[in-house]
Amino acid sequence: MNTPLSLRRTLLLGILLPLFGFMIINTVVLYRQALAAADTAYDRTLLATAKSLGEQLEVVGNGEQAVVRSSLLYSALEAFEADNRSRLFYRVNGFKGEMVSGFEDLPPPRTQLPDQKIYAALVHFYDEAYRGDPVRMAVLLQPVAGVAGQGMAIIQVAETLELRQTLARQILIDTLWRQAALVIVMVLVVVYVVQRATRPVRALSHALAHRSENNLSPLPTLSAPRELLPLLEAANQHMQRLSHLLEHQKRFVRDTSHQLRTPLAVLKTQVQSARRGDVPPLQALDEIGHTVERATELANQMLALAKVEQLREDKDAPVIDWAEVVRSVALDLAPLIAERELDFSLDVVPARVRSHEWALRELGRNLLHNAIKNTSPGSRLAVEMVKDSRAVALSIRDSGPGISATLRERLFQPFATDHGARPSGAGSGLGLAICHGIVQSLGGSIELDNRVEHGVVQGLDATVRLPLAPTERHAPHEPQ
């Protein structure tokens, strides 16, 4: 398995490798330019030598017998030699190509001469080999005129390359050490900048590595670079969710242990009393059954409350018809409605919302069950559902005593009850907390308001509003 590169190494390689490549290319280009400049300078010396030779030429004879003569001695070339590291050779050809003076074995001029860019067309420079050594050749077409006749002589001057090669090596060495010094400076600067730029990342890694497992406090963002802010903000949001989930788990364990302790203690006392024969067996069984039923209901509600937290993190809930779920819940609670002889009405319309069926069932069951318990026998209980283009509202209207101002302040808190205000105050106080959590996780709202007529509370209206699924929002409204 390959180990991924660190951020520092990636930055250094990404910056320094192209830099080294550029410096190598730049060194080669500078070296070639320097060589071209050196060739230009030394070629001028060759041209001056060839012109000097041309000044020593004269025409002897008349007409067809006219020939070129040179009075130049080889020793005169010593003035044009830069030092003893280079040697000059020359050759002068007459009007008909005959040799006039110089070194007879010097290679003749090339028939295809290169184009000249900075010199006149009468002089040409090119590289050649003479006596096994590389030389630089200058060929000058020199017009020669006299009383007896005129014509075009060819003057060749060749120079060995020792001096040029020495200069080239010196240019290369000077170029290399300057480029090396520049590279070293740039490497130091890049390493320093990369180290400084990645310091916040290393500091963040060190801080996270030395945090305790229970420390979910937000990471500091004031001194962080702008590029790290999205990462830090996302990490802080994630830790905030973890902190909320951890706090909920702690509260759930604490509340569960506290709430289940009482019915278990009562159950233990009832069993001991039945064993001693303090109460008749049937009465003891009825009391034990009632306690077990209450403890079971409390445990189920606690599990439902814990499951609501999982619902908050679920973003892939299916789309279902809320009206069908409400009808099913009403059918399940029909025996309780019939037992209390309530004037019950159900008016719902098809409304597709994004949620799990168990969540909507738990929501409807808690609200409707509370309404049934708090509605006086023979009174009216109405369930109505209406919707607009964006949301659907479920209203459950009972005929109970409503809620007091004291309970309203902590209405949706777990284990909040109001025994003095509602007739069936023996509940655990978890139903509304579960409803509130489900509605929040679905992006909706829940409201409980007293219905007042002529200054007297006539009942409680529980209204839940949920957003319609996207495919349902622009559908035509069903008749209500």
What's the angle, vertex CA 313, arms to CA 308 and CA 316, rounded to 5?
105
Between the ranges 184-193, 309-318, 407-416, 419-428, where is the mean pLDDT highest?
A: 184-193
Confidence of residue 420 (pLDDT cuts 50, 70, 90): very low
Determine the average pLDDT of the residues in 145-166.
Answer: 80
Residue 443 has pLDDT above 60, yes or no: yes
Q: Are residues 442 and 296 in the same domain?
A: no
Buried b vs exposed e over 348-371: b needs ≥16 C-beta within 10 Å? bbebbbbbbeebbbbbbbbbbbbb
Between the ranges 54-63, 83-92, 342-351, where is the mean pLDDT highest?
A: 342-351
Residue 424 has pLDDT above 60, yes or no: no
Helix (H) or strand (E) holding 63: none
Residue 478: what pLDDT?
44
Q: Is there a domain that residue 97 lies in?
A: yes
Structural domain ending residue among the three candidates 272, 293, 310? 310
Average model confidence (pLDDT) across the chain:
79
Cα separation, 164 vs 40, whole angstroms: 11
Q: Which residue has the tokens 């310091």?
A: 199
Q: Are residues 35 and 102 in the same domain?
A: yes
Closest to 237 (Cα-Cα) out of 245, 227, 248: 245
Closest to 146 (Cα-Cα) out of 76, 90, 94, 77: 94
Cα separation, 120 vs 68, whole angstroms: 23
Joined tokens for residue 27: 């060194």
Confidence of residue 380 (pLDDT cuts 50, 70, 90): very high
Q: Is there a domain that residue 195 lies in?
A: no
Cα separation, 369 vs 340, whole angstroms: 12
Q: Is there a domain that residue 300 lies in?
A: yes
Residue 316: what pLDDT?
73
108-112, 226-230, 365-369, 470-474 — which is least confidently predicted?
470-474
CB neighbour list of residue 75: distance below 8 Å, 6 or more residues apart: none
Cα separation, 422 vs 400, whole angstroms: 8
Determine the average pLDDT of the residues in 341-367.
Answer: 90
Residue 33's CATH number: 3.30.450
Neighbours of 271 (CB within 10 A): 14
Structural domain ending residue among the three candidates 130, 150, 171? 171
Determine the average pLDDT of the residues in 233-243.
Answer: 82
Q: Are residues 279 and 295 in the same domain?
A: yes
Q: Are residues 116 and 145 in the same domain?
A: yes
| Number of domains present in the structure of the chain | 3
Determine the average pLDDT of the residues in 138-150.
Answer: 78
Q: With the C-alpha atoms ordered 396, 402, 406, 407, is the resulting torsion angle positive or negative?
A: negative
Q: Are residues 304 and 351 in the same domain?
A: no
Q: Which residue has the tokens 């400076």?
A: 185
Q: Which residue has the tokens 């730029």?
A: 197
Residue 345 has pLDDT above 90, yes or no: yes
Confidence of residue 334 (pLDDT cuts 50, 70, 90): very high
Determine the average pLDDT of the residues in 6-18.
Answer: 79
Residue 475 has pLDDT above 50, yes or no: no
Tell me phi and psi for residue 199, to 5 degrees. Answer: -60, -45
Q: Is there a domain that residue 165 lies in?
A: yes
Q: Are residues 248 and 261 in the same domain?
A: yes
The terminus-to-terminus CA distance of the chain in angstroms comes to 65
Q: Are residues 321 and 435 in the same domain?
A: yes
Residue 416 has pLDDT above 60, yes or no: no
Residue 291's CATH number: 1.10.287
User: Who wins on pLDDT, 477 or 442?
Assistant: 442
Residue 255: what pLDDT?
65
Q: Is there a domain that residue 213 lies in?
A: no
Cα separation, 314 vs 312, whole angstroms: 6
Residue 342: what pLDDT?
92
From residue 205, give the alpha-carbon distance in Å to each of 192, 200, 221, 278: 20, 8, 14, 67
Cα separation, 288 vs 263, whole angstroms: 10
Residue 312 has pLDDT above 70, yes or no: no
Confidence of residue 425 (pLDDT cuts 50, 70, 90): very low
Supply the range of the domain harboring residue 377. 314-472
Q: Is there a domain that residue 215 lies in?
A: no
Confidence of residue 193 (pLDDT cuts 50, 70, 90): confident
Residue 241: what pLDDT?
78
13-27, 308-322, 359-373 — which is least confidently predicted?
308-322
CB neighbour list of residue 405: distance below 8 Å, 6 or more residues apart: none
Confidence of residue 407 (pLDDT cuts 50, 70, 90): confident
41-50, 113-122, 268-277 — which is least confidently predicted?
113-122
Confidence of residue 42 (pLDDT cuts 50, 70, 90): confident
Q: Is there a domain that residue 377 lies in?
A: yes
Confidence of residue 397 (pLDDT cuts 50, 70, 90): very high
CB neighbour list of residue 13: distance below 8 Å, 6 or more residues apart: 5
Q: Are residues 325 and 295 in the same domain?
A: no
Q: Are residues 294 and 385 in the same domain?
A: no
15-29, 140-154, 423-437 — which is least confidently predicted?
423-437
Cα separation, 360 vs 352, whole angstroms: 12
pLDDT per residue as tens digits for the range 451-470: 988 888 889 999 999 999 88
Confidence of residue 200 (pLDDT cuts 50, 70, 90): confident
Q: Are residues 23 and 105 in the same domain?
A: yes
Cα separation, 43 vs 49, whole angstroms: 10
pLDDT per residue as tens digits for the range 56-68: 777 777 666 667 7
**In contact, 130 and 89? CB cutoff 8 Å:** yes
Closest to 341 (Cα-Cα) out of 288, 399, 395, 385: 399
Residue 372's CATH number: 3.30.565.10
Q: Are residues 127 and 151 in the same domain?
A: yes
Q: Is there a domain that residue 432 lies in?
A: yes
Structural domain ending residue among the three candidates 171, 201, 218? 171
Q: Are residues 263 and 353 in the same domain?
A: no
Alpha helices in 198-321 (DSSP H): 199-209, 229-276, 281-313
Cα separation, 151 vs 13, whole angstroms: 67
Cα separation, 368 vs 330, whole angstroms: 8
Confidence of residue 72 (pLDDT cuts 50, 70, 90): low
